Amino acid sequence: MQIFKSLKWKFFTSLILLTFAVVIANRLIAQLIVSNTITNSVLQQIEVSLAECGSSVLGGDAFQRCLDKANSGNLLKVTTDFFTYCDLRSTEQPNEKCALFDKNSVKWKSTKTTSKSFESANINFGNDIWYAVRPQNDSAARKIIYKESASNEIKTQIWTIRDRTNLFTFPLIILSQLLIGFYLFKIIKRPIQQIESSLIGINENTLTTQQSHKNSYVEFIKIEENIDSMRRSLSESFNKAKRFSGDVAHELKTPLTILRGNAHELAKNASLDSVQEYRILTISDEIERLITITDKLLLLSRADSKSLLPSLKNISLSDLINYWINEATSSNTHLKITNNIQPEVYWDCDVVLIRMLISNLYENAVKYNINNGWIDFKLTQKDGVILFSTENPSLQINDKLEALAFERFYRSSHLDSNSQEGTGLGLSICFEIAKIHNAALDLKVTERGTVVITLTIRLS
C-alpha cells in the first residue's frame, strides 16, 4: 500500500516503536538499579537507627519501639519490620543468625554515613544473603541484621505500584510523543516543501531566475546549491539548443533557396520527359521539402525562445473553417469530408497561425487516412468553451500515438521510409500555436479505430 511508503508513516511508527523500546529498557535497567539502591538505603537506615536507638535501650522489643518512633513518616519505614536487633547485653533468647556474624571468619568493612563510624558485613545463609551493620569498637557487639530478600519484597511492592501507575501514564506518554512527533515532522518537512516548491517552479521561463533560500536550514544548503547548479546547467543547455535549431534553420534557408532557383532553371532547359528532367524535378522536390523543414524549425525555434507572439484579431472562426473545408472538398475528391460547424463562433486569434494549424491538422488527417476514407470537422461553443476537432480513421495506430503524437520528428513506424512525405513537425507546430493562444490540443484514439484531435479554447 502507498501509505507504507510514506515518510510520515515511517517517522511515526519508528517513534512509537522507539518509545516502547525506551520504556521497556528503562524498566529493566530500573529493576537492576532499584534492588541495589534499596539495599544500600536500608543499610544507611540501619546505621542511623543504631546511632539513635542502639545505645539507649536493651532488648529487641524496646529497640523496635524506639525504631518505630524514630522512623515515623520515613518512606522506608516498612523495611524496619525486617530488622533483627542483636545485643549481648539483652536477656532475650539469642538469635542464631546474630551468632553467625560473631565468628572471626566474617569480614567487616568500615563505613561512615553519620557522625559515628560503623562497619558492615554480609554472609550467605541458606538461599539468602544477610547483611549486618554494627558500630566500630562496640564491646556489647550491638548490631542489626537484615536479609536481602526483604529488599526484593519491598521492590516488588514498589514495582506493582509503578506498573499500575504506568497503565494510566503510558497513554499520556504515547500521546505526548505523537504530539512532539507531529511538531518535529512539521519542522523537518518545511524545508523539504520549500525545495519541492522551488523545483516545481523551474521551467523554461524561470531557469535564469535566482532562487531564494534564506529561510532554509544549514543542513539543506548543499542540496540547494546542487539544485542551483543543475538549474544553471539546464539553462545553458536549453539556450544552446534553441540557438542551434534556429541558427541551423536560418543558415540553411539561403543556400536552399539558391538551389531551388537553380533547379528550376535546369528543369526549364532539360528535355521533356527525359531521365534528366525527372532527376532534376526529384531534386527540386527534395529541396522544397528541406525548405519546408527549415521554415518549420524556424517557427518552432521562435516558439521556444518566446519570440513567436500572436497578432490577435477578432475573427469568425466558423467562416475560416468553412472556407478551408470548401477548399479541401474541391481539391481532395478521394476522401469524404463532413462537418458540423456551429455558426457565429468568434475568437481573438492570429489568423495566419490558426490557418497554419487548421492546414496541418487537415494534412495530418489526409496523410494518415485509409483508402476511400473520410474526415469529419466539428466546431461548437458552449459555456465559454470553444471546441474544434478533426476525426479520421487510420490503420496505422499504435500504443505510443497518444503519448508521442506532439513530439517533434515523431512519425509512425510505417512512415520511416520515404513512401509518404512528412517531417514529424506538423502536430508539434499545432501544439505550439495552441499554446501561445492559451489553448490546449490533445489527441485521442477511439475504440472504433479513429483518431480525434481536439483544440480546446477557453474564452476569458
**Three-class secondary structure assignment of 186-249:** HHHHHHHHHHHHHHHCCCCCCCCCCCCCCCCCHHHHHHHHHHHHHHHHHHHHHHHHHHHHHHHH
With the CA atoms of 234, 239, 244 and 247 taken in that order, what torsion angle do they form, in degrees rounded to the nearest 10? 180
Rg (CA), the chain: 48
The neighbour count for residue 402, using CB atoms within 10 Å, is 14
Q: Which residues contact 400 (CB under 8 A, 6 or more apart)?
A: none
Q: How confident is the model at residue 166 (pLDDT cuts 50, 70, 90)?
A: confident
The amino acid that residue 356 corresponds to is: M
Q: What is the pLDDT of residues 266-301, one digit of tens each?
A: 777 777 667 777 787 788 888 887 877 777 777 777
**Three-class secondary structure assignment of 8-73:** HHHHHHHHHHHHHHHHHHHHHHHHHHHHHHHHHHHHHHHHHHHHHHHCCCCCHHHHHHHHHHHCCC
DSSP string, 108-139: -EEE-SSSS-EEEEEEEETTEEEEEEEETT-T
Q: Is 456 helix (H, G, I), strand (E, B) or coil?
A: strand
Place of cell 548543499: 222
Q: How confident is the model at residue 419 (pLDDT cuts 50, 70, 90)?
A: very low
Round the average pLDDT of the chain to a whole number and report it: 78
Phi, psi angles (nearest 5°) of residue 89: -80, -10
Tell how far CA 220 is from the center of its chain: 15
Q: What is the pLDDT of residues 190-215, one digit of tens each?
A: 777 777 777 776 766 666 666 665 55
Q: Is 346 helix (H, G, I), strand (E, B) or coil?
A: strand
Give which of 303, 350, 297 is closest to 205, Cα–Cα.
Answer: 303
Which residues are registered as beta bridge partners of 135? Answer: 118
How many whole angstroms separate alpha carbon 255 and alpha carbon 168?
A: 89
pLDDT of residue 237: 72
Element of type H or E holding 374? strand 374-382
- Spell 51-60 as b/e; 16+ CB within 10 A means b: bebbeebeeb
Question: In percent, how much of the chain has pLDDT > 70?
Answer: 79
Q: Is 399 helix (H, G, I), strand (E, B) or coil?
A: coil
Give which of 253, 304, 295 is closest to 423, Cα–Cα.
Answer: 295
For residue 416, pLDDT over 60 is answered with: no
How many whole angstroms separate alpha carbon 152 and alpha carbon 407?
A: 81
The neighbour count for residue 294, using CB atoms within 10 Å, is 20
For residue 351, pLDDT over 70 is answered with: yes
pTM, entire model: 0.51
Rounded to an integer, the average pLDDT of 25-39 is 73
Give which of 425, 453, 437 is closest to 299, Cα–Cα.
Answer: 425
What domains are defined for the chain? Answer: 2-162 (no CATH), 218-304 (1.10.287.130), 313-458 (3.30.565.10)
- What are 6's three cell numbers? 510514506
